[in-house]
Structure 1
Amino acid sequence: MDRYNVNKSIAHYINGNSILLGLLMKRKLDPLRITWQQLAVLMACSDEGGTCTVTEIASLLVTDLPSATRLVDRLSKKGFIARKRSELDRRSVLCTITAEGRKILRRGASVREQVLSASLTPLTTHEQQTLQKLLTKLMSHLEQASSAN
């Protein structure tokens, strides 16, 4: 019988850490009525000057367009994002953070920073920097590989 040792693979550890970090974020963000993914949308729009397209959100969050659209829909219903059609390209939807969205973004970003800081305490600053470089390198490679097919 073949043995695959799934619990010893790098993918197992990357996925496991992602799931556990997501659970911690959910627990801490629940009082704000926002998910980790919705906070990421607000952060992405903020990084783009407060306004970005759904296509840009999908790209920045490494997700598909329908998923990004659903995230924007939920944020719009909560009053955190205003949507409007682009005057330059009617197919494109512009998403702008509202004043209420900015308040939630500030509070959510603070929670995110606390969770990440607490989660990384077992690692030295040098180890954290090395981990970030390695994960960035791997993600870049995987993005290239996935777009090649």
Structure 2
Amino acid sequence: MVTSEFAKLWWKLSKDLRSHMETQLAPTLTEGQLTVLELLVINEPQKMKPSDFIDFLTTTPAAITTLLDRMEKGGLIARERDERDRRIVWVLLTDKGRTECERGVAVREQFLQSYLGRISSHNQQLLVYLLGKVANA
């Protein structure tokens, strides 16, 4: 009984978040692109290769290449070859990418705060703690 109720609530929250993000990020950004931009910001000043994104996006190398192609065309990222080993391609954040990342994170934060604002600060902390336990984090 509890698992089915949890599944329903999780699905609803996930669906609401996906829908909100899709509408608010369009037309310049998708959730997958936001994930790439966030990873680039988090890992600064280290550079990242396309293969570094696979674990975070749970997709194929070909799909990552297509995603990065679209992002480069949109001016969100740049790619450059390594000076010492030309086989290595580095993914770099552009100024536009940084700005769009900040916008995307703000959109998500606002949405989540509107949901979490329905419960007390103490219960927000408890919810995060319990979800951490469920997620084994």
User: TM-score w.r.t. structure 2 length?
Assistant: 0.77
2:26 counterpart SS class = helix
Match of 1:147 in 2: none
Q: Does 1:107 align with 2:106?
A: no
Which 10-residue stretch deviates more, 59-68 or 90-99?
59-68
Which deviates further from its counterpart, 39-48 or 67-76? 67-76
CA contact (8 A) 1:80 1:97 kept: yes
Deviations 1:54-111 (A, max 9, x none): 1111223333322322221111110110012334554442110011111111222211
Q: Hey, what's the Cα distance between the residues in 2 that align with 1:60 and 1:128?
A: 24
CA contact (8 A) 1:45 1:57 kept: no
User: For the Cα contact (< 8 Å) 1:53–1:93, is it kept in 2?
Assistant: yes
1:36 aligns with 2:31: yes
TM-score of the aligned structures, taking structure 1 as reference length: 0.71
Work out which structure has the larger RCO, using CA pairs closer than 8 Å and 6 or more positions apart in sequence: 2
The aligned residue for residue 40 of structure 2 is: 45
Residues of 2 paired with 1:18 and 1:69: CA distance?
26
1:25 aligns with 2:21: yes
Q: CA deviation at 1:26?
A: 1.1
Cα deviation, residue 132, structure 1: 3.7
Distance in 2 separating the partners of 1:128 and 1:89: 47
**Count of residues paired in the alignment:** 132
* One-letter code aligned to 1:128: L
| 135 and 23 in structure 1: CA distance in 2 versus 1, 3 angstrom threshold | farther
Shift of 1:48: 1.0
User: How far off its partner does 1:10 sit?
Assistant: 4.9
Q: Indicate the percent of aligned positions where both proteins have the same amino acid.
A: 30
8 Å CA contact retained: 2:116, 2:124: no
Give the unaligned 5+ runs of structure 2: none
